[in-house]
Amino acid sequence: MKYPFLLFILFWLLACTGSIEEAPKPNIIFIMSDDHAEKAISSYGNEMLNTPNIDRIAREGVRFKNSFVTNSICAPSRAVMLTGLYSHLNGLRDNRDRFDGDQITFPKLLQQAGYQTGLIGKWHLKTTPTGFDYWNILIGQGDYYNPRMIAMGDTSLHIGYTTDLITDFALGFLEERETDRPFCLLYHHKAPHRNWMPPPRYFGLLQDVDLPLPDNFYDDYSGRTAAKEQDMRIDDMFLALDLKIHPEHHKSPSGSGGGPSNFSDERAWACVFQIALLSGIGYDLFDNIPSSTVFVTS
């Protein structure tokens, strides 16, 4: 035998394998913000805004300077993240498709490895979540104020701002989790998805701030056909719903807004900004309503 010493080492390593302690499994918290542009994060150099908590993650972790996404649309991006597959392979190409929950996802693999898995917040995949020991999700896109959410099949109507509520529910999962098991939590926000609705406490945050127009605000897109034909400029936004301009202060909605032709500024303003109907009870968003109040619906 040419290499008896190496063979001895191999047998010794194999014999010792059973006595080596298994490395602890890391806990995982996946935080997802929706339609969040790089330029809307101050750690990427935007001096017009401040995102201190995100900046701390960047500072104490890794900040990607050159990264790409498989599909940046809302629902397809989640399907890609869950499956690790291109959109044409996981079956969810755009927001019109339904997610096939029977396929393999990484939370299911973590469950098999002994993890406790949770999902809190926006799902928007049109099917019931699978692979999670606990889930509490918004219905569809969800609302910024007083959202209905489905927790393990039961629907409840919650009073408060959706970002705050999702955070509270995520903290609740962490506080009540099984401490003898590793966990994976998918913590999905609706914000800052269009139409960019702040919590009432921030309504006047920028009232006295002069925000300069970008240098290319009046760009005519000369020589750039694709850019000229796109439907995501300020001029394409709905003045009331997107830009928060009261219907009395403009004559008609601008652009297409990427939405239906029969869109009503007045109806949108009244529905989203002023009045919410909770089991037949109307209230003003500026009133101080306890965030712990919950209305359960059938």
Question: Looking at the predicted structure, is the pLDDT value of residue 291 above 50?
Answer: no
- Which CATH architecture fits 28-61+68-188? 3-Layer(aba) Sandwich (3.40)
pLDDT one-digit tens code per residue, 106-131: 999 999 999 999 999 999 999 999 99
pLDDT on residue 169:
98
pLDDT on residue 241:
75
Give the lowest-confidence range in 44-48, 134-138, 245-249, 287-291: 287-291
Going by pLDDT thresholds of 50, 70 and 90, the confidence category of residue 287 is very low
The pLDDT > 70 percentage for the chain reads 77
pLDDT on residue 26:
96
Mean pLDDT calculated for residue range 163-191: 97
Question: Looking at the predicted structure, is the pLDDT value of residue 276 above 80?
Answer: no
Question: Looking at the predicted structure, is the pLDDT value of residue 165 above 70?
Answer: yes
pLDDT one-digit tens code per residue, 53-87: 999 999 999 999 988 889 988 899 999 999 999 99
The pLDDT > 90 percentage for the chain reads 51
pLDDT on residue 257:
61
CATH 3.40.720.10, the chain: domain bounds: 28-61+68-188
DSSP the chain: ---HHHHHHHHHHHHHHTTSPPPPPPPEEEEE-TT--GGGSGGGT-TT---HHHHHHHHHS---SS---S--SHHHHHHHHHH-S-HHHHT--STTS---TTS--HHHHHHHTT-EEEEEE---SSS---S-SEEEEESTT--SBS-EEEETTEEEEE-SBHHHHHHHHHHHHHHHS-TTS-EEEEEE--TTSTT-PPPGGGTTTTTT--PPPPTTTT---TT-HHHHH-S-SGGGS-TTTTT---GGGSSS--S-TTS-TT--HHHHHIIIIIEEEETTEEEETTS---TT-EEE--
Question: Looking at the predicted structure, is the pLDDT value of residue 4 above 60?
Answer: no
Rounded mean pLDDT of the chain? Answer: 82
The structure's pTM equals 0.81
